[in-house]
Chain A
């Protein structure tokens, strides 16, 4: 039983998702608990796998018992064991959180929402766990297709945003597929470890250069790296709250994980760093993404849209951090994948609660929120502090390693971009906090003599508890970042 946990991580959400519509025929309300049951089992399996990897090193799981270069293999090392735990725990938290929000926004689609929700998580977990390039493509498309469906059921304008996402997402996936094709023509293998063994003699071939270019271009579209981020803000702003809380933190982070995997497992660091200027381009791409994301975020008056541009900027942090290509920056980048997933889910759960209560995600409608929803806004302040990078929240530590990495690489432009975006985040969040406290209006209210006290009108507990749990997690990850770094991430950093 225990030996089969790696496959269970993918099979559990898949089977539960297939049975979900049948359960929905019987009792609509049960789908929610069914999804939670599935994701809890999945989270247990991934935590068990993480401990197994920490205790005994990399796990190789052969599907159907076929030996690696011929059969599909699941390979779980420290990096993807950590990603599995992130994905399964965040999706569990979002599933718990989603109940009231889905009941309000999509009352007729509860059954199908949870069916596709589980399918989406299957895709995410499959991308992370697999050790096969083509299998990764299939899971990438499973998660994208489920994502299109989940986004399209959103508010007015969501279908058009989804259509654009489909077009861009398909181009991204096809580029990835082409890159895999080029690698396959040259090596005759699709297994990542096997390709890594075969490739070094071919590093000077132009076909491999093209393959690298196609793979990275495809993944850049999937992760919404700045110049090709166009699909992201519209799609995530107009998606239902529960969808954006699930997809916004995970889809981009998983594409970033695939990028790290491709650069340092499929190719050796030797190719990515020394033979081709891949990493130099990545630092500058990260630099542009950070500046672009931060400046575009300043221009937004819609809260969810502003968060989307923050996500774009955060993608820049990680791409740039990987591009700096030294151990410290790499540690920072991988820690930031973890931190940013947790921070983004925190931001979007808060946005979902505000949407649930005020029916709006425009910043100008946020008046008096601190009085009405003290706990939600307290959680929001913690997440905002973390995005800005205030110790002891987790955002500080990953940013600290990224800055140290930039110093070691003597890349002053990237360093400047990191500091600049932190300052922009201060402005962004204090603007929201200012509206939430409603300083000007309360002065005006006293002048009129009609300052009615706002009544506490907090979100339902099923939404509030997950949000507060995320805020606590942000502080805990910050406090225990040394343990995470030395026990997990230290093993995940490639040797340069």
Chain B
């Protein structure tokens, strides 16, 4: 059991972070806190992807001095290089998440201009009052 928990610590970390973010998104009444929760949630997924490609002592999958020369280190063996694909995927995902953050903050500005508050309860009250 101990082995199981320690051996998969990266997954436990990401689950923990994800749940913190999830809690903030669901339970907090302030819109900015919800956005912060959303960011923690998304970052947890980024860390999950990145942690799957980690290898101890591995290098980048680039053929260093591939055209010969002394001390050429060819990382063509799967065991020697870290899988670059999750990193590339997460670069794209980060861009997507930045865009989401931008839209969410822009919407918050719209809300603030109209209702002068970012507390969800107060906004709902002022919508009901018409």
Closest chain-A Cβ to B111's Cβ sits at a distance in Å of 5
The complex places the Cα of A171 from the Cα of B40 at a distance, in Å, of: 12
Q: Is A494 an interface residue (CB 8 A)?
A: no
Q: Which of B34, B48, B85, B99 contacts A141 (CB 8 A)?
A: B99
Q: Which of A148, A152, A177 contacts B45 (CB 8 A)?
A: A177
Specify which chain B residues have a CB less than 8 angstroms from the CB of A170 in the assembled complex: 38, 41-42, 100
Given contacts A134-B89, A178-B45, contact A156 B100 (CB under 8 A): no
Return the CB mask of B17-58 against A: 1 if under 8 Å, else 0.
000001001000001001000100110010011001000000
Return the CB mask of B97-116 against A: 1 if under 8 Å, else 0.
00110011011101100100
The answer to whether B41 and A171 have CB atoms under 8 Å apart is yes
Q: Is B127 an interface residue (CB 8 A)?
A: yes
Interface of A is mostly: helix
Q: Which of B85, B93, B103, B124 contacts A177 (CB 8 A)?
A: B93
The answer to whether A159 and B25 have CB atoms under 8 Å apart is no
Q: Is A492 an interface residue (CB 8 A)?
A: no
**In the complex, which residue of chain A has the Cβ closest to the Cβ of B120?**
A160
Specify which chain B residues have a CB less than 8 angstroms from the CB of A479 in the assembled complex: none
Q: Is B123 an interface residue (CB 8 A)?
A: yes
Given contacts A134-B92, A152-B107, A157-B127, contact A163 B31 (CB under 8 A): yes
Q: Is B63 an interface residue (CB 8 A)?
A: no
Specify which chain B residues have a CB less than 8 angstroms from the CB of A167 in the assembled complex: 25, 34, 38
Specify which chain B residues have a CB less than 8 angstroms from the CB of A174 in the assembled complex: 41-42, 45
Closest chain-A Cβ to B33's Cβ sits at a distance in Å of 11
Closest chain-A Cβ to B17's Cβ sits at a distance in Å of 12
Q: Is B96 an interface residue (CB 8 A)?
A: yes
The complex places the Cα of A157 from the Cα of B130 at a distance, in Å, of: 10
Contact-size category for A: 20 to 34
Specify which chain B residues have a CB less than 8 angstroms from the CB of A145 in the assembled complex: 96, 99-100, 103
Specify which chain B residues have a CB less than 8 angstroms from the CB of A171 in the assembled complex: 22, 25, 41
The answer to whether A138 and B25 have CB atoms under 8 Å apart is no
Specify which chain A residues have a CB less than 8 angstroms from the CB of B92 in the assembled complex: 134, 138
Given contacts A138-B96, A174-B42, A185-B52, contact A166 B104 (CB under 8 A): yes
The answer to whether A166 and B100 have CB atoms under 8 Å apart is yes
The answer to whether B48 and A181 have CB atoms under 8 Å apart is yes
The complex places the Cα of A141 from the Cα of B101 at a distance, in Å, of: 12
**In the complex, which residue of chain B has the Cβ closest to the Cβ of A152?**
B107
The answer to whether B38 and A162 have CB atoms under 8 Å apart is no
The answer to whether A160 and B99 have CB atoms under 8 Å apart is no
The complex places the Cα of A138 from the Cα of B96 at a distance, in Å, of: 7
Closest chain-B Cβ to A112's Cβ sits at a distance in Å of 12
Given contacts A134-B92, A156-B127, A159-B114, contact A166 B48 (CB under 8 A): no
Q: Is A149 an interface residue (CB 8 A)?
A: yes
Closest chain-B Cβ to A73's Cβ sits at a distance in Å of 16
**In the complex, which residue of chain B has the Cβ closest to the Cβ of A140?**
B96
The answer to whether A178 and B103 have CB atoms under 8 Å apart is no
The complex places the Cα of A183 from the Cα of B48 at a distance, in Å, of: 13
Specify which chain B residues have a CB less than 8 angstroms from the CB of A152 in the assembled complex: 106-107, 110
Specify which chain A residues have a CB less than 8 angstroms from the CB of B111 in the assembled complex: 159-160, 163
The complex places the Cα of A163 from the Cα of B25 at a distance, in Å, of: 11
**In the complex, which residue of chain A has the Cβ closest to the Cβ of B96?**
A141
Given contacts A141-B96, A170-B100, A177-B93, contact A162 B107 (CB under 8 A): yes
Which residues of B approach A to under 8 Å, CB–CB? Answer: 22, 25, 31, 34, 38, 41-42, 45, 48-49, 52, 85-86, 89, 92-93, 96, 99-100, 103-104, 106-108, 110-111, 114, 120, 123-124, 127
Q: Using A163-B107, A166-B103 as known contacts, list a sample of 9 further A-B pairs with CB atoms less than 8 Å apart, ordered by residue number in A.
A: A138-B96, A141-B96, A141-B100, A152-B110, A159-B111, A163-B31, A167-B34, A174-B45, A181-B48
Which residues of A approach B to under 8 Å, CB–CB? Answer: 134, 137-138, 141, 145, 148-149, 152, 156-157, 159-160, 162-163, 166-167, 170-171, 174, 177-178, 181, 184-185
Give 25 CB contacts A-B under 8 Å.
Answer: A134-B89, A137-B96, A138-B92, A138-B96, A141-B96, A141-B99, A145-B103, A148-B103, A156-B127, A160-B127, A162-B107, A163-B34, A163-B108, A163-B111, A166-B103, A166-B104, A166-B107, A167-B25, A170-B42, A171-B41, A174-B41, A178-B45, A181-B45, A181-B52, A184-B85
Complex A-B, nearest 10 residue pairs according to Cβ-Cβ distance, in ascending order: A159-B110, A141-B96, A159-B111, A166-B104, A148-B103, A163-B107, A159-B107, A162-B107, A152-B107, A157-B127
